[in-house]
């Protein structure tokens, strides 16, 4: 039997802790794994592209545990009532190869993306940052708001989306959360949203080279949390932002980010810092209060590894609807797999004149 975490169970686990605590604990797990960066077998994710989207597999292993995530990205799905992104994942024991956990990762990916964003921003944004612009108010936006409010002390969030309905949805959900000391403002454009912002988070969904922000819109000292550009041909920042002399760029895993991140627009010589080096104190998050810092976030498999291990632990810690599924055969003789397909042994039945 294999432990299973579906949608109902992840809802239960998050409700028991609260989303803010869940995200902060998850950030701690992710940081701990980035701090042992050299222990991991790492590779860029394997992507299969189509005109309408992408399907990806994301593996990572530390030699003791192995994890992978299946995830898609189909921006037009919402037009037919489907999610843009869905995901599930497996955590396995390397010694036996047996899976330990099969889990939903659609909700969890949004939680871990927000956790990683806030984790990087704590090292890169100015300590006095209190205002965040949030451009793209879709499925990821509530999670990003909770993470930055809770972990960085953001007190004002300025919203903009080309879809006014998405912004209305976000406003409604934030009002229901009753987040203390958080002011929510709706803006009429990206340019209006970034005015006076200390942090700018872009989390748009269109699979194209979009120009969500230009260099003229970005004031000195701003931290950019660029989340939406996460596959080849999909970016949010005008390349002139990256060309600025006062820019510092951090990525999760450079070989993957060169293919998929904002830096796909730049030459191979363009300098970046990996998040592991930043968290280990091997590189500073910013050089001055006037430097523009960019976390070019595309999502990396190590974050899903951390998430699956965290889920398995709290799944066992927390009472509730714990489930297992019969994903693996249970055999008396491990060499006799075909025994599962054989009929039950025939039973002798009593017949007239014959002793049973």
- Give the pLDDT score at 206: 72
pLDDT digits (tens, 9 = 90+) for 249-282: 999 999 999 999 999 999 999 999 999 999 999 9
Torsion from C-alpha of 314, 319, 320, 323, nearest 10 degrees: 60
Residue 167 CA, chain-centre distance (Å), reads 21
Measured distance CA(275)–CA(282) in Å, rounded: 10
3-state secondary structure of 86: coil
The number of beta carbons lying within 10 Å of the beta carbon of residue 265 is 17
Measured distance CA(336)–CA(356) in Å, rounded: 31
Measured distance CA(61)–CA(283) in Å, rounded: 25
Active-site entry in 3, 33, 230, 304:
230
Q: Is 202 exposed, middle or buried (0-12, 13-18, 19+ CB in 10 A)?
A: buried
Measured distance CA(60)–CA(243) in Å, rounded: 32
- Give the pLDDT score at 347: 55
> β-pairing, 65-73 with 183-186?
unpaired
> Of 72, 24, 63, which is closest to residue 45 (Cα–Cα)?
72
pLDDT digits (tens, 9 = 90+) for 152-191: 999 999 999 999 999 999 999 999 999 889 999 999 999 9
Do residues 43 and 259 touch, judged by C-beta distance below 8 A?
Answer: no
Q: What does the angle CA 275 – CA 279 – CA 280 come to, to the nearest 5 degrees?
A: 115
Domains located in the chain, CATH noted: 2-107+303-328 (3.30.1780.10), 114-299 (3.40.50.720)
- The pTM score is 0.93
Measured distance CA(25)–CA(344) in Å, rounded: 49
Residue 248 bridge partners (DSSP)? 293
pLDDT digits (tens, 9 = 90+) for 41-65: 999 999 999 999 999 999 999 999 9
Measured distance CA(14)–CA(1) in Å, rounded: 24
> Of 96, 187, 77, 204, which is closest to residue 141 (Cα–Cα)?
204
Torsion from C-alpha of 216, 294, 225, 205, nearest 10 degrees: 70
Residue 44 CA, chain-centre distance (Å), reads 15
- Give the pLDDT score at 356: 45
- Phi first, then psi: give them for residue 322, nearest 5 degrees: -70, 135
CA atoms within 13 A on the CB side of 75: 16
- Residue 230 is among the residues annotated as catalytic for this protein: yes
- Give the pLDDT score at 205: 72
Measured distance CA(37)–CA(35) in Å, rounded: 5
Residue 104 bridge partners (DSSP)? 88
Along the 356 residues of the chain, how does pLDDT read in single tens digits?
999 999 999 999 999 999 999 999 999 999 999 999 999 999 999 999 999 999 999 999 999 999 999 999 998 999 999 999 999 999 999 999 999 999 999 999 999 999 999 999 999 999 999 999 999 999 999 999 999 999 999 999 999 999 999 999 999 999 999 988 999 999 999 999 999 999 999 999 776 778 899 999 999 999 999 998 777 888 999 999 999 999 999 999 999 999 999 999 999 999 999 999 999 999 999 999 999 999 999 999 999 999 999 999 999 999 888 899 999 999 999 999 999 999 976 555 555 554 44
């Amino acid at each position: 039997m294999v432990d299973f975490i579906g949608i109902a169970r992840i809802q239960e686990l998050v409700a028991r802790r609260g989303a803010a605590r869940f995200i902060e604990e998850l950030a701690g797990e992710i940081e701990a794994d980035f701090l042992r960066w050299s222990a991991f077998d790492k590779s860029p994710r394997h992507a299969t592209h189509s005109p309408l989207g992408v399907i990806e597999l994301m593996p990572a292993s530390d030699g003791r545990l192995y994890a992978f995530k299946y995830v898609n990205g189909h921006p037009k799905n919402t037009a037919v009532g489907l999610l843009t992104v869905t995901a599930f994942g497996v955590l396995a024991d390397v010694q036996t190869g047996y899976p330990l956990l099969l889990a939903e990762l659609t909700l969890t990916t949004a939680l871990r993306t927000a956790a990683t964003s806030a984790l990087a921003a704590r090292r890169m944004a100015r300590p006095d940052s209190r205002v965040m612009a949030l451009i793209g108010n879709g499925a990821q936006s509530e999670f990003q708001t909770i993470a930055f409010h809770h972990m960085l002390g953001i007190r004002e969030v300025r919203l903009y989306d080309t879809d006014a309905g998405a912004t209305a949805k976000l406003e409604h959900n934030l009002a229901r959360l009753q987040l203390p000391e958080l002011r929510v403002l709706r803006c009429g454009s990206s340019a209006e949203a970034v005015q006076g912002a200390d942090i700018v988070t872009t989390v748009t969904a269109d699979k194209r080279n979009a120009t969500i922000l230009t260099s003229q819109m970005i004031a000195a000292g701003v931290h950019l949390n660029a989340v939406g550009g996460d596959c080849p041909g999909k970016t949010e920042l005008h390349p002139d932002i990256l060309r600025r002399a006062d820019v510092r760029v951090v990525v999760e895993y450079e070989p993957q980010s060169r293919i998929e991140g904002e830096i796909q627009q730049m030459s191979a010589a363009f300098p970046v810092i990996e998040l592991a080096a930043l968290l280990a104190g091997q590189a500073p998050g910013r050089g001055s209060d006037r430097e523009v810092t960019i976390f070019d976030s595309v999502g990396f498999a190590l974050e899903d590894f951390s998430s699956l291990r965290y889920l398995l632990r709290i799944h066992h810690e927390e009472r509730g609807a714990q489930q297992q599924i019969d994903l693996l055969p249970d055999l008396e003789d491990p060499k006799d797999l075909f025994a599962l397909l054989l009929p039950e042994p025939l039973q002798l039945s009593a017949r007239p004149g014959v002793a049973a």
